[in-house]
A and B are shown apart, each in its own frame.
Chain A
């Protein structure tokens, strides 16, 4: 008997290629925001009222805002606040939600009921109102905005992680792992987590855009990044009133948000495909 193996017919490494391309783009974005201080053509905080609301030109590729500050420089500097606070926020809610969800799904019983009712409570609460309340108690600022959004956003992840864990819990391979002498922690880390992390990672990648916008929304209300700190969302809000007279003024931060959200979304999809060996060949 000569055993044979089915091989995937489709080109083998296309998911890997996509992962590399979008991964590099995302890393470039992060590197840009890390080195933003050195990349700006002008001082992003230098006001020049004689040159306010200038149209895009060779000197100012994206024009200037109402104080004559170079938009391109502000967008580059703003990437640090926007991208890092968003990534931090998403990392926090993913980690917290997953840990709670896996624990609930695995352990079950009373503690599961209690934690899930708490998460229901947060899900039923309007997010921005809660964020306003937190900011009211703790005062405005980027840290408090992140804290407020994290406090209301983890339940979604806990729900996904819990249902995924429940689905894995009774599978034969986990029972086989138990019989192979693996302890609970090892089973969770080695078998459950890798099998449930795909949908969670995709959700968090897709959430990057939403969270970026929500942080921007809080900044707009004066509860997030405070002027004159450059942040894409608040830059759009600041210049919103001028949209009819100088439409290009919101173009730069808008494009920046659009492109970074796009890159992270595509990366999310690719990570999901890559994490699953069954679709890796496609």
Chain B
């Protein structure tokens, strides 16, 4: 079976004047199979979010390849890249800031639908469906991001991400800004959507317990490198890498 996402030799070097270059992501590679949920854990600064930005091409790659559903997207731009976004969407860490403060939630959710050629009435109807699918009511489309709570806003962000029915969903710390009970609900929502839409998920997170509960496979990242890979239960019970051991000890 062909992987939905294949990352080869992915590297990001941040250059700055005067100071030495900083390698945020250091030649990493992994594969994500259709329907799989892959966790990516590591401390802050380990390069997890940069990986998300590189895969979605929001940041330019220094080296390496990103293959999405058999298509190399690492040198795409403009229209080609926009078409790639039909297959790949992202949920951000800060729900409220991921919506334009001057536009209603419905507008943000429907933006991709409009961009990919749906008419206004269709979009409105679809947005209402999406909101219900994500556990909100259709009238949320008329609210501004500052009027709703973080959890509600993150649900709306998830609705936006699944609007064009992508095959790959990247969750960049999507539950970190939420409190524990809401976190649980959002995780349940992800699980439900994953089944309904046959989503593959790259779940970036620093919470090992959450990853253990939700992911099929986990990658541990440290200083820009992948130091360990495996089934969450095994990685947590029998960590092979020195850093992974410390990471797990610090939590248990």
> Which residues of A are in contact with B by a Cβ distance under 8 Å?
1, 3, 5-7, 171-173, 175-183, 186, 191, 194-195, 275-278
Contacts and interface: CB of A to CB of B under 8 A. Distances in A.
B144 A277 contact: yes
Interface in B82-111: 82, 85-86, 88-90, 92-94, 97-103, 108, 111
A95 to B, nearest CB: 20
A173 B146 contact: no
B148 interface: yes
A39 to B, nearest CB: 40
B112 A277 contact: no
Secondary structure dominating the interface of B: loop
Contacts of B112: 179-181
Given A5-B148, A172-B97, A179 B116 contact: no
Given A180-B85, A180-B160, A277-B146, A173 B97 contact: yes
A107 B223 CA distance: 31
Which of B93, B102, B157 has the most CB atoms of chain A within a 10 A radius of its CB? Answer: B102
B137 A3 contact: yes
Secondary structure dominating the interface of A: helix
Interface string B18-51: 0000000000000000000000000000000000
A5 B82 CA distance: 34
Contacts of B143: 5
Interface string B151-163: 0100001001000
A20 B147 CA distance: 25
Pick the 5 closest A-B CB pairs, nearest first.
A180-B112, A181-B115, A172-B98, A180-B111, A181-B82
A195 B100 contact: yes
B98 A176 contact: yes
A109 to B, nearest CB: 13
6 contacts: A5-B140, A172-B93, A172-B94, A178-B58, A180-B112, A180-B115
B97 A171 contact: yes
Given A5-B143, A278-B146, A177 B100 contact: yes
Which of A173, A182, A191 has the most CB atoms of chain B within a 10 A radius of its CB? Answer: A173
A179 B58 CA distance: 8
Interface in B35-80: 56, 58, 78
Contacts of A276: 101-102
A176 B99 contact: yes
Contacts of B140: 3, 5
Given A179-B85, A181-B112, A278 B92 contact: no
B210 interface: no
Interface string B167-195: 00000000000000000000000000000
B120 to A, nearest CB: 15
A173 to B, nearest CB: 5
Which of A179, A186, A276 has the most CB atoms of chain B within a 10 A radius of its CB? Answer: A179
